[in-house]
Amino acid sequence: MRWIFILFIAAIALVLVQCDTNPYKQGKVLYEQNCQNCHQEDGHAVRGLIPPLAKSEYLSDPEQVACIIRNGLKGEITVNGEKYNHEMPPNLVLTPTQISNIINYINNSWGNKHPFVSYNKVAESLKACGDEFL
């Protein structure tokens, strides 16, 4: 009887582990270190002040996202129908690889579903918006 119970618990644990489907572990760690203070753990950021990443329409353009992560953002923007105007600081120490990891993590979190973004694509976008890191 006890064995069945233990097996049952193990099965549940296994299912729970499998449920965590976001494969971008590195991106998650980088997100926690570089983005989470403002955009928060749940991607909903701060009401009225800082725009959400969860279901944000901005994410459909990965090239733009890479440049926003690198250079920050100033001025008014509209996300999911709400207006925001609070400066986002640039992130000059992140490498293009790290930026790709962050984008892929964001793209597959909080209900977001966007296609995989490769390192090459991110590097290209960064070059196009004047990145001197490369």
Partner 1 sequence: MLRFFLIVFCISLMSACSNKKELPILGNRDYQTKIVNGKEVQDTIYHTIKDFNFVNQDSQPVVPATFQDKIYIADFFFTSCPTICPTVKTQMLRIYEKYEGNKNVVLLSHTLDTKYDTPEVLNSYAKKLEIETNRWHMVTGEKDDIYTMAKQYFIAAAEDPNSPGGYTHSGGLVLVDRDKFVRGVYDGTEKDQVTELLGDIDVLLKEQGLK
Site for partner 1, rule CB under 8 A: 36-38, 40, 45-50, 84-87, 89
| SS3 call for 11 | helix
Buried b (16+ CB within 10 A) or exposed e, 18-28: eeeeeebeebb
- Separation between Cα atoms, residue 106 and residue 5, nearest integer Å: 37
- Separation between Cα atoms, residue 31 and residue 24, nearest integer Å: 10
Which C-beta is closer to partner 1: that of 20 or that of 76? 76
Shortest distance (Å) from residue 125 CB to partner 1 = 23
Which C-beta is closer to partner 1: that of 24 or that of 84? 84
Shortest distance (Å) from residue 40 CB to partner 1 = 6
Which C-beta is closer to partner 1: that of 23 or that of 89? 89
